[in-house]
Structure 1
Amino acid sequence: MKKFISAIFLLSFLYVGFSQGKKNQNTEPYPYGNPVITHMYTADASPHVMPDGRVWMVTSVDHEHGGGYSTMHKYHTFSSADMVNWVDHGEILNVWDVLGSATEPEGEDWALWAPDMVYHEGKYYLYFPVRKLFTEHGYDEQKRKTESYIAVAVSDSPDKRFTVINEKIEGTRGIDPSVFIDDDGEKYLYFGNHWGAKLKDNMKELDGKPIHMDVDDEDFMEAIWMHKRDNKYYVSYHAHYGKPIDPENPDDPERMKSTLDYGVSDNPLGPFKYGGVMNYELGVNVNEGPKYPGKEFVPWRVFQSNHGGIVEFHGNEYLFYHTSALSSWRQDSFQGPGTWTQRSVCIDLLEYDDKGNVVPVQQTLSGVEPVKIVQPYAIELLNGQVNTSDGVSIQNKIINVSENGICEFKNVPLGTGYYYFGLNVLNTISEGKVEIRLDSPDGKLAGTILLDEFSNQVNRGRAETFIRGAKGNRDIFLVFEMGVEGEVQVSFPEFFGGAPLQSY
Structure 2
Amino acid sequence: MLQATAGLSALALASQAAARAAARTYTNPVYAGQFPDPFVLRHQGRYYAFGTTGTGRTRDGRIFTLLTSSNLVDWKDAGGCLAPPAAAEGADFWAPEVVFHKGTFYMYYSMGGGAIGATVGHRLHVATSKKPEGPYQQVALLDVPASKFTIDAHPYQDTDGKWYLFYARDFIDTDNGYRPGTGLVVDRLLDMTRLAGESRTVMRARHDWTVFEKNRTMPLYDNKTFPEWHTLEGPFIRRHGGKYYCFYSGANFLTPRYGVDYCVASSIMGPYSDAGAEKGPRVLGAVAGHVRGPGHHSHVLSPDGKTEYLVYHAWNTAMTERQLCIDKLAWTAQGPRCVGPTYTPQPLPS
Tell me which residue corresponds to 2:142.
169
Separation in 2, partners of 1:81, 1:26: 20
Q: Say how many residue pairs are matched.
A: 287
2:160 to 167, 184, 208: 184
Is the partner of 1:158 in helix, strand or coil?
Answer: coil
More strand by share: 2
Separation in 1, partners of 2:70, 2:253: 38
Letter of the 1:206 partner, please give it.
L
> TM-score, structure 1 length as denominator?
0.51
2:46 is aligned with 1:46: no
Q: Where do residues 120-131 of structure 1 align in structure 2 (5 Å cutoff)?
A: 120-131=101-112
Q: 1:321, CA displacement in angstroms?
A: 0.8
Tell me which residue corresponds to 1:59.
51
Tell me which residue corresponds to 1:343.
322
Q: Cα distance 1:360–1:81, how it changes in 2: closer, same or farther (>3 A)?
A: closer
Tell me which residue corresponds to 2:239.
228
| Superposed CA offset, 1:70-125 (max 9, x none) | 5478213333332223343321115xx22x15x73xxxx41001111000010000
2:31 is aligned with 1:37: yes
Q: Cα distance 1:177–1:311, how it changes in 2: closer, same or farther (>3 A)?
A: same
Separation in 2, partners of 1:208, 1:243: 33
Separation in 2, partners of 1:279, 1:367: 20
2:99 is aligned with 1:85: no
Q: 1:230, CA displacement in angstroms?
A: 2.3
| Superposed CA offset, 1:28-68 (max 9, x none) | 94876322223x42121112332x1333322223xxxxxxx
Separation in 1, partners of 2:205, 2:308: 24
Maintained 8 Å contact 1:320/1:347:
yes
Q: Cα distance 1:110–1:234, how it changes in 2: closer, same or farther (>3 A)?
A: same
Letter of the 2:100 partner, please give it.
Y
2:238 is aligned with 1:265: no
Q: 1:200, CA displacement in angstroms?
A: 1.9
Maintained 8 Å contact 1:171/1:210:
no
Q: Cα distance 1:305–1:35, how it changes in 2: closer, same or farther (>3 A)?
A: closer
Separation in 1, partners of 2:310, 2:346: 10
Maintained 8 Å contact 1:176/1:223:
yes
2:308 to 314, 317, 331: 317
Maintained 8 Å contact 2:293/2:313:
no
| Superposed CA offset, 1:372-431 (max 9, x none) | 4xxxxxxxxxxxxxxxxxxxxxxxxxxxxxxxxxxxxxxxxxxxxxxxxxxxxxxxxxxx
2:343 is aligned with 1:365: yes
Q: 1:305, CA displacement in angstroms?
A: 6.3
Separation in 2, partners of 1:242, 1:41: 15
Maintained 8 Å contact 1:239/1:259:
yes
Q: Where do residues 442-457 of structure 1 align in structure 2 (5 Å cutoff)?
A: none
Tell me which residue corresponds to 1:160.
134
Q: Cα distance 1:350–1:305, how it changes in 2: closer, same or farther (>3 A)?
A: closer
2:113 is aligned with 1:132: yes
Tell me which residue corresponds to 2:184.
194
| Superposed CA offset, 1:170-206 (max 9, x none) | 33751111111111101111111211111123x0011
Q: 1:365, CA displacement in angstroms?
A: 2.8
Q: Cα distance 1:146–1:304, how it changes in 2: closer, same or farther (>3 A)?
A: farther
Maintained 8 Å contact 1:215/1:263:
no
Tell me which residue corresponds to 1:451.
none
Maintained 8 Å contact 2:48/2:133:
no
Separation in 2, partners of 1:169, 1:350: 31
Is the partner of 1:194 in helix, strand or coil?
Answer: strand
Letter of the 2:187 partner, please give it.
A
Q: Cα distance 1:278–1:70, how it changes in 2: closer, same or farther (>3 A)?
A: farther
Tell me which residue corresponds to 1:281.
285
% of aligned pairs identical?
Answer: 23
Q: Cα distance 1:227–1:306, how it changes in 2: closer, same or farther (>3 A)?
A: same
Is the partner of 1:175 in helix, strand or coil?
Answer: strand
Maintained 8 Å contact 1:77/1:158:
no
Separation in 1, partners of 2:161, 2:56: 37
Separation in 2, partners of 1:367, 1:177: 33
> TM-score, structure 2 length as denominator?
0.71
Give structure 1 stretches of 5+ with no counterpart. 1-19, 62-68, 134-138, 246-256, 286-296, 329-336, 373-504
CA RMSD of aligned residues (A): 3.1
Separation in 2, partners of 1:367, 1:186: 40
Separation in 1, partners of 2:253, 2:34: 25
1:307 to 291, 296, 299: 296
Give structure 2 stretches of 5+ with no counterpart. 17-25, 169-182, 211-230
Separation in 1, partners of 2:261, 2:73: 26
2:124 is aligned with 1:150: yes
Separation in 1, partners of 2:78, 2:55: 24
Separation in 1, partners of 2:121, 2:162: 29
Q: 1:363, CA displacement in angstroms?
A: 1.3
Q: Cα distance 1:26–1:129, how it changes in 2: closer, same or farther (>3 A)?
A: closer
Letter of the 1:262 partner, please give it.
Y
